[in-house]
Structure 1
């Protein structure tokens, strides 16, 4: 590696020195980890805490604030004395040594720890730096592609992938001066804080929507919902879904006739009912020589087959549907939205009632016979508008979250070597 190659593509102003490179073993010493499964842990009390590999893979980010992360307690109080020399400190790093994919080797840097002694758990490799690193640097660097790609050829296993201490010892650790480390750690940690903020907002909105879907539609056997908009007092009427909307399904043109595909008509399949583009498209000949049917933007699309059974969306495009989709149109956007949100609310009930073990297909005949409680059109409009606005807000936070995640990914690619 040349001196010029030892610097990243993006650096903070004022830093010009080449980065240092050392063997992992020169930078870290390994600590002991226990073999406690989830059965040996609890969320209520104990004299010591535990860091489990599953939480590193799924729950924790690059840096762990143990004061806020609800680390589980170790149920057996006799375990801790066996690890007296491996009680974790701030600045230690822990690798998950096992995963079902190349996430093996994911790492977390410990920043704040709870008041109880904390030790590293099942399928983890805890390591302690031999010298000081800037806060947040190791957590972000050891999870970056710049470091993690060194582990890929060293991973072992097929169904379960693992990384060993020996594999870590074979890697190289690269780092700049302490001030630059601190600047990198602070910048990426700030992005992490923003990601966490939007993730929490998104999660709260999703939970709020689920709650309102339960409360703004009547429970089984009741004629009014728990929550209503002001001015509406009349009981809801029970109607069959097929009486409220025009319903039809489509079909698939012969796959062996290339003249039927590659045209300008989007061909919507089950997994694409909520998309604004499709993988396949039909020609006019493909539409006219099959049972495929056109749907307009704003119609309700209901997936009836396989893994997507019970999924529902308002069509974002005009296109053709296949036999796995039931289209519904109440000739009013508000009524269509009302039907769609009611079907989303009822998804679990419908699939559990009509599908064996969640497997199999639904049918248009079944869906059209479903009894749906119906308020006045004005109340439908308010309910549909409420949930539509809520969906827009959820989408907004989801997009902000994805943007921040993409920004972080780009910085991780450019701020490390």
Structure 2
């Protein structure tokens, strides 16, 4: 017998080892509930496979089952697992439901705990023993785990049900904090998307729907090529030229993922005076992607180092007049500009965009540099909050992962 490395101080007894099949647990399978059985007017709350494991807690969809013919209904303390997935890792999941009479759809394995084991505790044990679960998985292109497999799942557990409940409740609280932080993050992301639509001028309009401060008047109509010049990324290089040297370049993924270049994620290359060096305030655009919706993703460079180049799968745009860099960072990612760019994508399996065609685009920008600054600062602050929130979520997830490893066996 053993005990975990971290415990609540009031519990001292060693943990026991048993296979799941030795517990008084009934194993059931949910019934097939098709999408046609789901609507907003039904009477029975339902958990439909595919929605269940969005979160680490029990989840009841707002959509309800319109019929209860042949349905399997939950009981408090049931533990739910997926029975199939396209990846083995997708099966190493479990959630405990704390509600009676919820219809459970097919492809859900139900572990009905009757005594000596708390459902929440069991759900977290399954999540903390991913390696053991993967040993029970079968399949090649689609992977499965069955009741007969789970009966052989070996686990360590405390005899004292109160210790099980306390551990389960502890992790439920951590997940509650994570859910709250994820919800806040999502709401702020959605707010940012809305403002990217409202704070920039739409086609056919002379000014945006929402103005910051007391700014008034029409935005100016300009041809993109009239306010800046383009240049090419790296040329004449092969794979041996990368990964070493005293110069750096901005990789494609850095531009694709960030509206402002992440200066900590530049990559090494040898100094080559034949290449175009980037400058503070340059805007980079990706030239190709797998979908039209992802072409010409932009990122503004705000660094000041020498001998920094652009990767060969993007092109640079250097403004000829003073424009606020933060404004441009968000302007070129706004719905307004993206709606202009996407129709220019050409291709079948991979899509490309012509920088010459892009330079012919008509755009509207505020003539008042202070309005540009206000808009840029507005979005910069939102991104700062989003970054802080994401770091907080990551830290919480790492703490949870560490504790799952230390508080279970």
So what's the TM-score if we normalise by structure 2?
0.88
Please point out which of 354, 362, 376 is paired with 2:353.
Answer: 362
Give 1:46's aligned residue: 42
- Tell me which moved more, 345-354 or 368-377: 345-354
Q: Is 1:386–2:378 an aligned residue pair?
A: yes
Deviation at 1:126, TM superposition (A): 0.7
The question of whether the paired residues in 2 share the 8 Å contact of 1:215 and 1:226 is answered with: yes
Unaligned residue ranges in structure 2 (runs of 5+): none
The question of whether the paired residues in 1 share the 8 Å contact of 2:20 and 2:150 is answered with: yes
- Tell me which moved more, 326-335 or 94-103: 326-335
Q: Structure 1 CA distance, aligned partners of 2:143 and 2:350? A: 30
3-state SS, counterpart of residue 174 of structure 2? helix
Output one character per residue of 1:218-246: Cα deviation in whole Å (capped at 9) or x when no partner.
11011111111232212111101222234
The question of whether the paired residues in 1 share the 8 Å contact of 2:228 and 2:319 is answered with: yes
Q: Structure 1 CA distance, aligned partners of 2:94 and 2:322? A: 49
Please point out which of 118, 138, 153 is paired with 2:135.
Answer: 153
| Inter-CA distance 253–413: structure 2 relative to 1 (3 Å threshold) | farther
Give 1:228's aligned residue: 211
The question of whether the paired residues in 2 share the 8 Å contact of 1:297 and 1:316 is answered with: yes
Deviation at 1:248, TM superposition (A): 1.8
Give 1:245's aligned residue: 228
The question of whether the paired residues in 1 share the 8 Å contact of 2:245 and 2:268 is answered with: yes
Q: Is 1:372–2:373 an aligned residue pair?
A: no
Deviation at 1:262, TM superposition (A): 0.4
Deviation at 1:295, TM superposition (A): 1.7
The question of whether the paired residues in 1 share the 8 Å contact of 2:65 and 2:103 is answered with: no
Give 2:152's aligned residue: 170
| Inter-CA distance 331–170: structure 2 relative to 1 (3 Å threshold) | farther
Please point out which of 71, 80, 84 is paired with 1:98.
Answer: 84
Q: Structure 2 CA distance, aligned partners of 1:270 and 1:32? A: 46
Deviation at 1:253, TM superposition (A): 4.1
- Tell me which moved more, 164-173 or 353-362: 353-362
The question of whether the paired residues in 2 share the 8 Å contact of 1:93 and 1:139 is answered with: yes
Give 2:404's aligned residue: 412
Give 1:288's aligned residue: 273
Give 2:263's aligned residue: 276
Output one character per residue of 1:62-95: Cα deviation in whole Å (capped at 9) or x when no partner.
x31x5xx435322234334xx4xxx311111111
| Inter-CA distance 235–96: structure 2 relative to 1 (3 Å threshold) | same
Please give the residue correspondences for 1:341-352 in structure 2 after superposition, counting only pairs within 5 Å. 341-345=330-334, 346-352=337-343
The question of whether the paired residues in 1 share the 8 Å contact of 2:79 and 2:119 is answered with: no
Output one character per residue of 1:259-285: Cα deviation in whole Å (capped at 9) or x when no partner.
x6501322222112233344741111x
Give 1:31's aligned residue: 28
Give 1:89's aligned residue: 75
Please give the residue correspondences for 1:257-268 in structure 2 after superposition, counting only pairs within 5 Å. 258=241, 262-268=244-250
Q: Is 1:110–2:97 an aligned residue pair?
A: yes
The question of whether the paired residues in 1 share the 8 Å contact of 2:287 and 2:313 is answered with: yes
Deviation at 1:390, TM superposition (A): 1.0
Output one character per residue of 1:109-156: Cα deviation in whole Å (capped at 9) or x when no partner.
01245xxx2232111111111314446322222211x2x311212212
Please point out which of 309, 320, 340 is paired with 2:295.
Answer: 309
Unaligned residue ranges in structure 1 (runs of 5+): none
Residues paired across the two proteins, number: 392
Q: Structure 2 CA distance, aligned partners of 1:10 and 1:316? A: 46
- Tell me which moved more, 29-38 or 311-320: 311-320
Q: Structure 1 CA distance, aligned partners of 2:145 and 2:321? A: 57
Give 1:11's aligned residue: 7
Output one character per residue of 1:387-410: Cα deviation in whole Å (capped at 9) or x when no partner.
111111111111111111111111
Please give the residue correspondences for 1:119-158 in structure 2 after superposition, counting only pairs within 5 Å. 119-134=103-118, 136-144=120-128, 146=129, 148-158=130-140
